[in-house]
């Protein structure tokens, strides 16, 4: 037996793991944007379970579709770019080695030349960070 319900997209009530995704979309006023995207993908409408599953299991794609950034490791959602190292903070410093822009928490300075590098580019020990140039000189 099939039960069909029709109501406004913004009145959808997600359940289980989809709730956090829906809440983030509401926080950043992106529910309407998602509705426009899904109208193109599902021109004949979308079933409640399909929508809930998208919100629950495809949150990274959904956030990208509506212009939000999602930290896959941290679960942080933002309308600003997130640090590629920690997925948590807004990046402000450019690594002089890989050219990624990282946050203050993921930025370190080489103990020999004082270059700004990200934690991922550290070739030395944690307490004695080395950029790739200084590491190669050793």
* Cβ proximity of 52 and 42 under 8 Å: no
The predicted pLDDT at position 1 comes to: 47
2-48: pLDDT as tens digits: 546 788 888 999 999 999 999 999 999 999 999 999 999 999 889 99
59: left (phi over 0), alpha (psi -120 to 50) or beta: alpha
Say how far apart CA 68 and CA 36 lie, in whole Å: 15
pLDDT digits (tens, 9 = 90+) for 38-89: 999 999 889 999 999 999 999 999 999 999 999 888 888 999 888 888 888 7
Which residues neighbour 96 within 8 Å (Cβ) at sequence distance 6 or greater? Answer: 115, 116, 117, 131
Polymer length in residues for the chain: 138
pTM of the model: 0.73
Please state the domain extents for the chain.
Answer: 9-78, 93-137
């Amino acid at each position: 037996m099939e039960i069909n319900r029709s109501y406004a997209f913004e009145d959808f009530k997600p359940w289980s793991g989809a709730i956090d995704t829906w809440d983030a979309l509401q926080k950043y006023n992106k529910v309407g944007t998602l509705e426009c995207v899904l109208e193109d993908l599902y021109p004949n409408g979308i079933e409640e379970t399909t929508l809930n599953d998208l919100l629950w299991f495809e949150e990274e794609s959904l956030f990208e579709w509506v212009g939000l950034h999602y930290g896959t490791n941290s679960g942080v959602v933002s309308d600003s770019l997130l640090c590629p190292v920690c997925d948590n903070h807004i990046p402000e410093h450019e690594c002089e080695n890989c050219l990624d822009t990282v946050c203050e928490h993921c930025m370190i300075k080489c103990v020999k030349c004082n270059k700004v590098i990200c934690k991922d580019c550290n070739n030395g020990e944690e307490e004695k960070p080395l950029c790739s140039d200084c590491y190669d000189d050793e």
